[in-house]
Structure 1
Amino acid sequence: MEVQYPISIDWSKEEVIKVVTFFQLIEQAYESGINKGELVRAYYGFKDVVPSKSEEKQIFKQFDKETGYSTYHAVKEAKETEREKVVMNK
């Protein structure tokens, strides 16, 4: 799937990499599963770039609309699950 990731022209190269990596891991959680620790670490990297909750919600909404995935639910599952792997159902 060809996805247009929601990124800002104001972000540095390193910040763009953190955000894109996070969204790639969200995709992986839905497509094949991902280690929960890896996803949680990537989320905190994303939060370094996007600390505002309202901006986070806007970006999640853009990505979710583009992919049909729920970023919020994937992150929530990664934080709360006892299992080592997060596997989401679309």
Structure 2
Amino acid sequence: MKDEVNIPISVEWTKEEVIDVVNFYEAIDQAYTKGVEKDLLETLYGRYKKIVPSKSEEKQAFKEYEKQSGQSPYHAVKKARESEENIIKM
């Protein structure tokens, strides 16, 4: 991940929700750098969806993150869902 990536968070979220969202984006970064466990990524995405249930809000956040980092959360999650592998590496 680039050093200056602003993770899309909301001031309305609780401290725990912010931590969960940050953990999700860190897992995306891991998928692009060294690989991440499929189950972990899917679990973190499930928690992310509970915090950000709106599809349009998710798309906007993913687009902003990808623009800054060059890493696509959408494609990482899609690969995790479709892959038979235990480790997701983009």
Normalising by structure 1, report the TM-score: 0.95
Q: Share of identical aligned residues, percent?
A: 51
Residue 18 of structure 2: aligned partner:
16
Amino acid at match of 2:15: K
- Local SS of the residue matching 2:7: coil
**Pairwise mapping of residues 4-83 of structure 1 onto structure 2 (< 5 A)?**
4-83=6-85
Structure 1 stretches lacking a partner, 5+ long: none
Moved over 2 A (4+): none
Q: CA RMSD in A?
A: 0.7
For residues 29 and 59 of structure 2, the distance between their equivalents in structure 1, rounded to whole angstroms, comes to: 17
Offset of residue 53 of structure 1: 0.4
Normalising by structure 2, report the TM-score: 0.95
Equivalent residue pairs, number: 88
For residues 63 and 19 of structure 2, the distance between their equivalents in structure 1, rounded to whole angstroms, comes to: 19
Amino acid at match of 1:61: K
Structure 2 stretches lacking a partner, 5+ long: none
